[in-house]
Amino acid sequence: MYTTVASHSVSGTTTRTRNGSVDLLRFVGAIGIIQFHCGTPGHSISLAALPMFVILLVYFGEGSDLGSSARRLIAPWLIWSAVYAVLKIAQSVVSGTSLSSEFAPWMLFAGTSIHLWFLPFAFVFLCASTTVPERLPLAALWTLCLVLSAVALWAFNTQTVPAPFTQWLAVISAACTGLLMSRTQNSLLPPTVLAFCAATAFFLGVEGITDQLLIAGLAVVLAMEVHLQQSALTDFLSNISFGLYLSHPAVLAAVLYVVPVNSPLLFPLVAAGSLAATLVVKKVFPASV
């Protein structure tokens, strides 16, 4: 997962400089996802972290070779899918349920835990973006992205599609925003447009993901505009963000054996447990996080 911010030189080449704001935003997003799954007050707003993650992932990943993208996205997806498959088998043994109740066809596209869906989505989108010529006029790319985003939002709100394709539709506009950020000199413009369009749709009564897209767009603009100095703290927070996201459902399942779902201790215990799990995994199997 990238933790840098792009800046464009006069010659048109792109350089990468570390931005502590992006590191901090990714960490806040990971904590927000944990908060969402713990059901703490205001948890629905925390889902804005998902389109925010997708924007940044596509922005920094666009232009990378597919082998590099596969190592960053597909390798962790396969590893954690195996981890959650083992946990599901163990759950089946403990609870006495059949294996067929633990596994479903949608897992072929999302992984054995639904929260893993964004990894194959990002890889597919980055593969697709390689077919968009660098010489394509910017106006044409904007038109393509706006149409694709509008169709995806319409389909998300009006069509019934199985998981994980519902989740994929929800973040198409975020992925397009990341693509536009990587192809234009003014990287702040695409997330600003996303926030404006999402706000307009929200106030027009379009339900679903619009409020989360609005927050994600504004958060990315803020992180890119307010460039915090890199520090040991921002490096640490960046390095654990991915692991927090990947490990927290397993930790949540374990904690729920100890405390009830409505306990005020649930969120801090899951957050602390996810941090501990991430630190252990980074030492034992760093390629997975």
Mean pLDDT of the chain: 89
- Structure confidence by residue, pLDDT tens digits, 213-266: 999 999 999 999 999 999 999 999 999 999 999 999 999 999 999 999 989 999
User: Quick check: 106 pLDDT over 50?
Assistant: yes
- Global pTM reads 0.89
Contact status, residue 186 vs residue 8, Cβ threshold 8 Å: no
SS (H, E, C) 188-217: CHHHHHHHHHHHHHHHCCCCCCHHHHHHHH
Residues 6+ apart with CB under 8 A from 281: 243, 247, 288, 289
Contact status, residue 211 vs residue 202, Cβ threshold 8 Å: yes
Contact status, residue 31 vs residue 244, Cβ threshold 8 Å: yes
- What's the confidence (pLDDT) of residue 206? 81
- What's the confidence (pLDDT) of residue 178? 97
DSSP state of 230: P
User: Quick check: 10 pLDDT over 70?
Assistant: no
Nearest by Cα to 122 from 208, 242, 36? 242
Cα–Cα distance, 279 to 45 (Å, whole number): 27
* Least confidently predicted of 11-20, 68-77, 153-162: 11-20
Identity of residue 73: L
pLDDT interval class at 1 (50, 70, 90): very low
Q: How much of the chain exceeds pLDDT 90, in percent? A: 68
The SS3 assignment for 4 reads strand
Tokens of 82: 């195996």
User: Quick check: 4 pLDDT over 60?
Assistant: no
* Least confidently predicted of 2-16, 68-82, 180-194, 269-283: 2-16
> What mean pLDDT is predicted for residues 269-289?
92
* Residue 16: φ, ψ to 5°: -120, 125
Contact status, residue 184 vs residue 138, Cβ threshold 8 Å: yes
- Structure confidence by residue, pLDDT tens digits, 17-51: 688 999 999 999 999 999 999 988 777 788 899 99
> What mean pLDDT is predicted for residues 128-142?
92
| Stronger pLDDT, 95 or 170, i.e. the higher one | 170
- What's the confidence (pLDDT) of residue 17? 63
Residues 6+ apart with CB under 8 A from 21: 5, 222, 223, 224, 226, 227, 228
